[in-house]
Amino acid sequence: MIRDVEFSYESLPPLASLEREWRTLEAVARPSFFTSWQWIGTLLAAVPAAHRPKLLRGAAGGETVGLALLGGGVTRRRSGLVRSRALYLNETGHPRFDSITIEHNGILAEVGCETAVFDSAIAWFADLGDVADELYISGSLLRLPETAVEARGLGRSETTLPSYSVDLGCLSPSGGELYPVLSANARQQLRRALRHFERRGPLQLSAAATTAEALAFFTELKVLHCFLEASRQDTFVLGRVLRAVPPPADRAQLHRGRNTTT
């Protein structure tokens, strides 16, 4: 069983080379969709080369057992007086490109090496010295082990955000209707919305028959999304392939100093 994993922070290789290496490790790992090449490769293809993150590599016995992207950025707090150098796991570190949020985040690791890889990554960050002050792990359900964090003199902050879902099994008795699982207030708002849109014509549910039709649906959704966000005067980014994704469930932050949890 692997216990010690050595990490290196490397420039990103050509995407074709990285894809071969990522997919090779993916074949012996248990990746989530967001740590698979489907997500990682699409993210890298959509982000301008100048803003792409670097590569975090974990090796044991000369073999790669862990891979992740690691973006960098500078954050400022307290009216800009406090400057902090931050690293972002599987994100670019630029809000403009990280608006499409990641979920089920983590380090792609060979099966059986997950704990060793994660613990060694924390140790690697603790020994970075003047390279970085904070490490952000967004959209992850993994809990940072308190003993490993405190033993290395790191502080920790955690922010938990709601992630909405519906148990589809609860919809079976109603034939897929949402009404039985909604509150009275939610049902009223849904009916009001339906009446509003039915003024323009009858509503219908259409399944895409082809990939081209599905992409056309997404294009229309993108236009509506951008219009809505612009009306709210919010900044937004909607990538070519990466599209509307719910907000991350959790965000963990490691930093040097006193340990705090929020």
Residue reference for tokens 């973006």:
71
Q: How would CATH label the architecture of 6-163+246-256?
A: 3-Layer(aba) Sandwich (3.40)
- Cα 36 to Cα 91: distance, rounded to the nearest angstrom: 14
- Cα 92 to Cα 223: distance, rounded to the nearest angstrom: 25
Q: Where are the domains of the chain?
A: 6-163+246-256
> For residues 161 and 248, is the Cβ–Cβ distance under 8 A?
yes
CA angle 159, 161, 163 (to 5 degrees): 150
pLDDT digits (tens, 9 = 90+) for 86-129: 899 999 998 888 877 788 999 999 999 998 999 899 999 988 87
More confident residue, 147 or 185: 185
Instruction: Give alpha helix (H) positions in 14-101.
Output: 15-26, 37-46
pLDDT tier, 253 (very low <50, low <70, confident <90, very high otherwise): low
pTM score of the predicted model: 0.70
DSSP letter at 108 equals E
- Cα 254 to Cα 260: distance, rounded to the nearest angstrom: 10
pLDDT at 13: 95
pLDDT at 6: 94
pLDDT at 39: 95
pLDDT at 27: 97
